[in-house]
Amino acid sequence: MTVEETDELVHKVREALRLVIDPELGDNIIELGLVYYVGVQEGGVASIVMTTTTRGCPATNYLKNGARDGAWAVPGIEFVDVSLTYEPQWTPQMMTPEARTRLGIA
Amino acid sequence: MIGASLSRWTMSYFAAAIVALITALGLMTAGYGYPHAPVDAPPTLIIVHLVAIGWLSLLMCGALFQFVPVLIARPLANEQLPLPALICLLLGLFSLLCGFLWLDGGIDTTLPFFPMAATLLGLGFALVVWGLAHTLLTGRPLPLSARFVAVALAGVALTATLGIIFALVRGGIVAEPHLVDLTVAGVPIHAIAGLGGWLTFAAMGVSYRLLAMFMLAPELDRRGSRLALHLGSCALALAIIGGAVAICLEWSRNLMLLAAGLPGLAALAFYGRDMLHLYRARKRRIIELNARMATFAFASLGLAVMLVIALLALGRLQEQVAAVVFLVAFGWLSGLGLGKLYKIVAFLTWLECYGPVLGKKPTPRVQDLVIEKRAQKWFYLYFIAVWLGTAALLWGRPLVFQTMTLAMLVATLGIVVQLVRIRRLADVKVDDRFPADTRRPALLHAAVQGI
């Protein structure tokens, strides 16, 4: 894969992840800054590193599986690896300014 | 697994709890129990246990089976325990109520109701404590909120132990003099253990975490928070263990309770300061109905503390203790419980229905499951009725009190209708309600699918 093709797939995966919303905040995980890293390797292997707004959130597994399914739906993605991390811990400052305004967050 | 999943039987606990609350309010509205009967008369004891075990304890157990895993980010250790625990608790409560009816002459059989209640409630609470304590043990070192819950589990174990002693003595199974003394003089200790040690401590622990989570406020574990935990634990040890020892050794029970009051008061002051800090430091400027209603519950707790101090100063605490218990049970614990129920039912229903299709289909938000404006008026009516009901008890106006319990019943039914609508997804736009591969959640239990 060329660098351009990889970048294109990464962009498509990030767009697909907009379908995954955090149920509590009601915005998608990209805008909320919950996705720390998206990469695509040779053979269409996508790696996603993400977090949740709070450790132990009951939605954790749904969010993780949702990210996997969302990325998998992208043509050209053959395998998805989603890992959770709490380093660094998520803060509302990681949201996009638009999402912060939309959700009325200081 | 990092995190927690959906607790299958939490909705069943909530449903049973709501039935108990509605029954208790219906009986109070009909003039059953206090103030039309003495505080220690069987009709009053029926209502007290319907509220304490049927409503508040089942509500708390259901919530803890869902949220203890959230507090420690570990799954529930024994997922098969909640259902048998619920069955034991319901059968035990039924036996206990029958026992009180039998004492009142309302039942004319010779079934051993009190020993049955002691066995079933003892077993039910033992299963709850075992399941939750076992889960907590996997999450050490425990965060502050979980440490409150650990103390609460000790509180419910002590409450149940005292209750079992009372039931066995009342049922004529046990006649050991110390235990008879404990049954005669230990009711205030039993009430403090239940309302304070078990329910208030659990509510404190859960509120530290849930309020921070829902309002995007920083999680607290500062010196004042730890002081609230340690002073509160010290107060409970003095009141429950010290109080029981004082009765058995014929020391002054009331002096022991008074000594427990000081650290208890300090613990509540530190807790109140922390809650105020959570609201002030929150990142979400506009807060949801559950967090707004929690402020009324905190106000009720503050009012109850001031009422105790004022009645102590006037030397009238003993004769007016029912008003304090009413305010604590319905203003603080039930008010907080109903507010959190409104949030938790929506959150769990969303997870159950839309969680499995996340990433595959567009989904509504949790906020799309509720219409807060419609629910708000019932919460306002509920809290106003509780406060006026407390005043009616203080000023000895039974008819006004009954009118207020009727208002509480109407408000509760109004809130329950909203909860059923949430569970049925009735307020979600029709086009968004059931994306492909989703199904309507059952009303009384959760189907754990696709995780």
**Chain B window 368-387: which residues touch A at a Cβ cutoff of 8 Å?**
368
For residue A24, the domain's CATH number is 3.30.300.130
* pLDDT tens by residue, B61-113: 999 999 999 999 888 988 899 999 999 999 999 999 999 999 988 888 878 99
Minimal CA separation from B366 to chain A, in Å: 5
Nearest CA in chain B to A62: B355
Residue B234 falls inside a structural domain: no
pLDDT (0 to 100) of residue A6: 87
* pLDDT tens by residue, B169-195: 988 888 899 999 999 999 999 999 999
Indicate yes or no: CB of B284 within 8 angstroms of CB of A60.
no
Residue B165 falls inside a structural domain: no
On the question of pLDDT at B202 being above 50, the answer is yes
Give B-chain residues touching A52 at CB under 8 angstroms.
3
**ipTM of model:** 0.90
Indicate yes or no: CB of A17 within 8 angstroms of CB of B73.
no
Residue B107 falls inside a structural domain: yes
Last residue within a domain, chosen from B116, B140, B164: B140
Stretches where chain A sits below pLDDT 70 are none
On the question of pLDDT at B436 being above 80, the answer is no
On the question of pLDDT at B354 being above 80, the answer is yes
Split into its structural domains, chain B has a count of: 2
Split into its structural domains, chain A has a count of: 1
Mean pLDDT of chain B: 93
- For chain A, how many residues are written? 106
Domain that holds residue A71: 3-103
Residue B318 falls inside a structural domain: no
Minimal CA separation from B316 to chain A, in Å: 47
Q: How confident is residue B450, by pLDDT bands cut at 50, 70 and 90?
A: very low
Residue B91 falls inside a structural domain: yes
d(CA B373, CA B378): 10
Assess B362–A contact: CB distance below 8 Å, yes or no: yes
Residue B258 falls inside a structural domain: no
Mean pLDDT of chain A: 92
* pLDDT tens by residue, B207-261: 999 999 889 898 888 899 999 999 999 999 999 999 999 999 888 888 999 999 9
Residue B172 falls inside a structural domain: no
Last residue within a domain, chosen from B140, B171, B203: B140
Question: To which residue do tokens 């989603």 refer?
Answer: A82
pLDDT (0 to 100) of residue A46: 95
Domain that holds residue B57: 1-140
Q: How confident is residue B448, by pLDDT bands cut at 50, 70 and 90?
A: low
pLDDT (0 to 100) of residue B12: 96
Last residue within a domain, chosen from B113, B140, B167: B140
Assess B62–A contact: CB distance below 8 Å, yes or no: no
Nearest CA in chain B to A70: B359
Residue B116 falls inside a structural domain: yes
